Structure 1
Amino acid sequence: MTENQPAGDGETDLSNECKELLSLPKERGWISLHQHQYQGFWCPTEIFQGIIAFQKHFQARDSDIVVASVPKSGTTWLKALIFAIVNRQRFEIKIHPLLTSNSHNLVPFLEVDLYRNNLVPDFSSKFPEPRLFATHIPFPSLGTIKESNCKIVYVCRNPFDSFVSLWHFCNKVRPQSLAPLSLDEAFDMYCQGMDVYGPFWDHMLGYWKESFKRPNNVLFLKYEDMKKDGVNHLKTLAKFLDCPFTEEEERNGVIEDIAKLCSFETMKKLEINKTGTFVLNMESKNLFRKAEVGDWVNYLTPMMEQRMSKVIEEKLGSSGLTFKGTPELADHVQQN
């Protein structure tokens, strides 16, 4: 969906199966007219059919690699890093696919790119092993992925920054015929758990808990930590994906080369990310704003800060999941 698309609720092209389910709770959407509550989370109407088709048809393989995330928490970056790590023997840095393709087009979303039109693609012929996919779907709704031994890499972000990034992004991609979401309205929706694929706390906790149950299958990453120490996180990623960097690769600067190739600065400057499109024909340039930690302080009032802190403490406080850059939260939340 681009800014020039006509407004709509996305329901006209849905299958009969999906239309029967649209009696589920409905609220104003972030990127479209409506979003629907399904299996405990909120999803835009346009994506609803893809989620159902994915759950019905997708057969996970133990060799699959799945990038999972809350929207606007570093998904574009993580896709690029994983694609570069897994394919580092296939492509030279100077002529790398990431220089001519957005990472979202190289690592497709299951529910949006592959199943949104209720199609059942021939995965075996289209995708080489290991197959690289992505999703924003919460862990409990992952279908056969939950039961497989595939690798899931999850990234989340300080909810303060994640909210501000989501608000900016959604207003850029909403059709012109729909009024923009005000900061106050979007913030209220976010704190009530009506964010895209949210509540954000349930989304995070699903993967957080699973990473402790199955550490060999689910790797839980934090955007802020990755920003602070990118090289060590690349090593962690490669080891988790069963393709660790060799000593020779480390000596030859392969890790640093990948970090630079996938950096925000590099990706934002690429022509493909200035003029190209990705899922739902959204413009790639809207993916790259600031990528800063702590930018939320320029947007949220003291009252908003207090409310968000209270939500985070109430919903995440007993889990041990904390975030750098959240005001005072780390002072009174203890690790289990």
Structure 2
Amino acid sequence: MAEINNDAAEEGDGQLLSTLPKKEGMWKPFFLYRGCWLTPRTVTSITLLQSQFAPRPDDVVLATFPKCGTTWLKALAFAVANRSRHPAGSGAHPLLTTHPQDLVPSLEVPHRDVHPVAGLDKLPSPRLLSTHMPPSLLPPGISALGCRVVYLCREPKDVFVSSWHYMNRVSADFSPDMDATFELFCEGFSLYGPLWDHVRGYWEQSVAEPDRVLFLKYDDMMADAGVSDRIGGLPMENSSYFRAGKVGDWKTHLTEEMAKKLDCIVEEKLRGSGLTF
């Protein structure tokens, strides 16, 4: 592979960003890239992926909108994919000592301007990868080669509350007001948003290609208390790295008016798709 000229890449990225819609209101300005709100560095990372990533037919991509059970899905998928090498209940199971985020690498994170895409080429097949990208931003070839995709969605009100808590924890210089952030979320303004476009994109792919795209609901899977045991058995309960998101936590944070407003927006945005929450 030809050596990447970082200076030229940065100049090209700057030119691209200057052409994109920009909006303030989060911990840094977000840019609307092909219908998706992203941080500047995420735009750069995704454009590098689109031009440099080489999919393989046996790749499996775990896709989620942020704060929709990504860590849990990675742990579950890793345990299932590696159950012959690492049996459930094994005292040496990787999930007991290694964070699921490290066991299942992300396509666009860490940012590919610093961590070259070529690093993904060194992973042995079959690769288990993850992403927050909507289907419209996935690197070319993933669909054409028949790469399998597992998508996990979550009740939108819980997504908002979880996202708000997360921003409060990780952004030292950004203290989001819940009411203001909620209004932005309802406008579709959130990282990798709008949420409804993200969910609908993968839902429609799952309907069109059910053998390639598996669409799952976090709430349904968490309600099925024995799901983990039945499909491989996960040692996550003993892992200090695993934190399960609470289903219905929005009830302690959102007013009835806020809940109805978001419900109506999501219902309208998903109308005709056959998908409901």
Is TM (by shorter chain) over 0.5? yes
- Alpha-carbon distance between aligned partners in 2 of 1:207 and 1:120, rounded to the nearest angstrom: 24
Which residue type is aligned with residue 163 of structure 2?
Answer: L
Tell me by how many angstroms 1:303 deviates: 1.9
Match of 2:262 among 298, 303, 308: 308
Match of 1:266 among 238, 246, 249: 238
CA change 1:99–1:201 in 2 (3 A) is same
- Alpha-carbon distance between aligned partners in 2 of 1:26 and 1:155, rounded to the nearest angstrom: 28
Answering whether residue 233 of structure 2 is matched by residue 257 of structure 1, we say: yes
Contact 2:61 2:150 in 1 (8 A): yes
| Alignment match, 2:36 | 41
Contact 1:47 1:116 in 2 (8 A): no
Superposed CA offset, 1:262-295 (max 9, x none): 3xx434xx2xx3xxxxxxxxxxxxx83x611111
| Alignment match, 2:54 | 59
Superposition CA RMSD, Å = 2.2
| Alignment match, 1:128 | 124
| Alignment match, 1:238 | none
Q: Which runs of 4+ in 1 moved over 6 A?
A: none
Unaligned runs of 5+ in 1: 1-11, 235-252, 274-286, 324-336
Residue 108 of structure 2 aligns to a residue in which SS?
Answer: helix
Tell me by how many angstroms 1:118 deviates: 6.1
| Alignment match, 1:281 | none
Answering whether residue 143 of structure 2 is matched by residue 146 of structure 1, we say: yes
- Alpha-carbon distance between aligned partners in 2 of 1:40 and 1:208, rounded to the nearest angstrom: 17
CA change 1:58–1:256 in 2 (3 A) is closer
Residue 15 of structure 1 aligns to a residue in which SS?
Answer: helix
CA change 1:153–1:29 in 2 (3 A) is farther
Contact 1:43 1:197 in 2 (8 A): yes
CA change 1:91–1:220 in 2 (3 A) is same
- Alpha-carbon distance between aligned partners in 2 of 1:191 and 1:142, rounded to the nearest angstrom: 25
The structure where helix makes up a greater share of residues is: 1
* TM, length-normalised to structure 1: 0.74
Match of 1:189 among 177, 184, 191: 184
Which residue type is aligned with residue 215 of structure 2?
Answer: F
* TM, length-normalised to structure 2: 0.89
Unaligned runs of 5+ in 2: 1-6
Contact 2:58 2:125 in 1 (8 A): yes
Residue 314 of structure 1 aligns to a residue in which SS?
Answer: helix
Contact 1:44 1:196 in 2 (8 A): yes
| RCO comparison, higher one (Cα < 8 Å, 6+) | 2
| Alignment match, 1:27 | 23
- Alpha-carbon distance between aligned partners in 1 of 2:25 and 2:100, rounded to the nearest angstrom: 26
